[in-house]
């Protein structure tokens, strides 16, 4: 997959099922340990997805809620709130078949470059068990606060330019 072919499209009402599939794919391993049947898992996931999506829309009304497309295929979602004092990554998630291909790193690097040029920090809440946690650390994110299940992480440019922290200087 060519990373140059990544584009964004604003979430639209007809995208609900795709967004549910992305959300459900991020919770599959967690639910596999419950012993629930498939119908119970799906009911739980749909309820949780709806609650999360509604919360994001209410709490971040000025945010961009985008579907990530790569090579004309939907591959995930990216929700970002650009504020006067920070860029907040609300959510970034890719379908399993598109993970570990450099897409997430490329998206994050672009956001870090934008923040570096604007002189803003980038903040994100990351689950402590999230496999992408190492990616955030490699890009220079530091833990600000341990909130139990989540870590509040922050990236700051040390140069005031588009430095992404890959050299571990952050």
Task: For the chain, list the domains and their CATH numbers.
Answer: 3-155 (3.40.630.30)
Token readout for 72 is 């004309």
pLDDT for the residue numbered 166:
39
pLDDT digits (tens, 9 = 90+) for 65-124: 999 998 889 999 999 999 999 999 999 999 999 998 889 999 999 999 999 999 999 999
Q: Quote the CA–CA distance of 8 and 76 in Å, as a whole number.
A: 10
The mean of the pLDDT values for the chain is: 89
Token readout for 61 is 């009304």
150 by Cβ neighbours in 10 Å (0-12 / 13-18 / 19+) ranks as middle
Region of residue 164 (phi > 0: left; psi between -120 and 50: alpha; otherwise: beta): alpha
Q: Assess whether pLDDT exceeds 70 at residue 164.
A: no
């Amino acid at each position: 997959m060519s990373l140059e072919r990544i584009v964004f499209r604003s979430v639209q009402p007809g995208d609900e099922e795709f967004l549910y599939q992305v959300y459900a794919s991020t919770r599959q391993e967690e639910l596999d340990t419950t012993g629930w049947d498939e119908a119970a898992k799906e009911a739980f996931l749909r309820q949780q997805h709806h609650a999360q999506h509604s919360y994001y829309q209410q709490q971040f009304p000025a945010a961009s809620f985008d579907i990530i497309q790569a090579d004309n295929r939907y591959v995930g979602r990216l929700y970002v709130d650009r504020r006067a004092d920070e860029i907040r990554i609300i959510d970034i998630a890719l379908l399993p078949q598109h993970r570990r291909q450099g897409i997430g790193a490329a998206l994050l690097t672009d956001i870090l470059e934008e923040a570096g040029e604007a002189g803003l920090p980038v903040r994100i809440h990351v689950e402590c068990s999230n496999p992408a946690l190492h990616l955030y650390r490699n890009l220079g994110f530091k833990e600000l606060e341990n909130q139990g299940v989540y870590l509040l992480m922050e990236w700051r440019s040390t140069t005031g330019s588009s430095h992404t922290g890959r050299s571990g200087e952050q």
